[in-house]
Amino acid sequence: MRQKYSSLGLLTNFKKSVKTVLLLVFLFIPFVSVLMNVSLTQALSISSVRDCNANAVIHCGALSTAELQDKCSHDATIQVIFDDFGILSCNIGSMGTIMSGQVTSSGQVFAGGKMVATNAITAGRQDIAGSQAVTKNGVTFFVRPPSVSFVSSPLAAFVVMSGNQFKFAVLASCGNPVKASTITKTVVKKSKPVQKVTVVKVVPKTPVQSQSQQQSQSQSIVIEQTPAATTTASQTQTMPAAQPAAASTPAPQQLPNTGMGDVLGLGAFVSLISAAAHYIYKSYKLKVVTGPDNH
């Protein structure tokens, strides 16, 4: 029985111990976060003169992130002016990476030795020629380019970056906020060299025609043919000379086809006519010699 009660007692004590440890952990976490937050604000200090005039947003400025957070937390007007410049917390380290940098009177912002923004605009509590008045939540302040208000250049600043992008800056000497246009890096890809290939095209030369040929080709010639027809030619054509018509040769007359009998009959006919002619001739000659008959 004693062992049983002793075991129950140990178990109860263990549970109480666990509860105590968990309670201490939950109470310790906020304290740790506060310590970590304080350590972050003390991460960066800047060497600079202090500007304690009436234009300073933070009187006499802030030379460390811890001092900046402390003064901002105790002055609501600082928070209003910071809010207009996109600074939403007095703990500027919670909004990005804090870097030591500089702001020039020409509006350039440098961080880590590199220019990260241009066209800077700052703010102050006094109206200086070239400034523009802004009233927000009952707080009036004046915005202008650094060239209007900077007495010396450059001025040291806490520059807050988000990656490679500029977010804002706070001048260390006076606590005046700064906004500017971040510089966007353009990555230029190097293209591979293109090998040029030259193609030589050989064009055959056109034979040059003589002037007479060129002129004859440009003329039009009308040639008459039988039956009458008109033909237009683009080139000169040489026509053969007209040949005289050949004299017609009379066809040879064909002799009558006679046989041997026809030849003998023709001969007898000729002989008979010759004999009769001879007889008539002799009779006529005899009458002439003898004269007429006298009675």
For 200-259, what is each residue's pLDDT tens digit?
A: 666 666 655 555 455 445 444 445 554 444 444 344 444 445 454 444 455 555 555 555
CA atoms of 101 and 172, how far apart (whole Å):
10
Rounded to 5°, the CA angle 101-104-108 comes to: 80
Partnered with residue 158 across adjacent β-strands are 100, 170
Partnered with residue 99 across adjacent β-strands are 159
The model's pTM is 0.53
Average pLDDT for the chain? 76
* More confident: 261 or 273: 273
Q: Which residues contact 135 (CB under 8 A, 6 or more apart)?
A: none
> Lowest-confidence range among 53-67, 146-160, 161-175, 241-255?
241-255
Residue 58 in contact with residue 175, Cβ under 8 Å?
A: yes
Q: Which of 111, 79, 116, 115 is nearest to 98 (CA)?
A: 111
Chain centre to alpha carbon of residue 133: 47
Question: 201-235: buried (b, 16+ CB within 10 Å) or exposed (e) per residue?
Answer: eeeeeeeeeeeeeeeeeeeeeeeeeeeeeeeeeee
> Once rounded to an integer, what is the mean pLDDT over residues 66-84?
97
- Strands 132-136 and 230-233 turn out to be unpaired
> Lowest-confidence range among 83-87, 100-104, 121-125, 219-223?
219-223
Q: Which of 177, 155, 131 is nearest to 49 (CA)?
A: 155
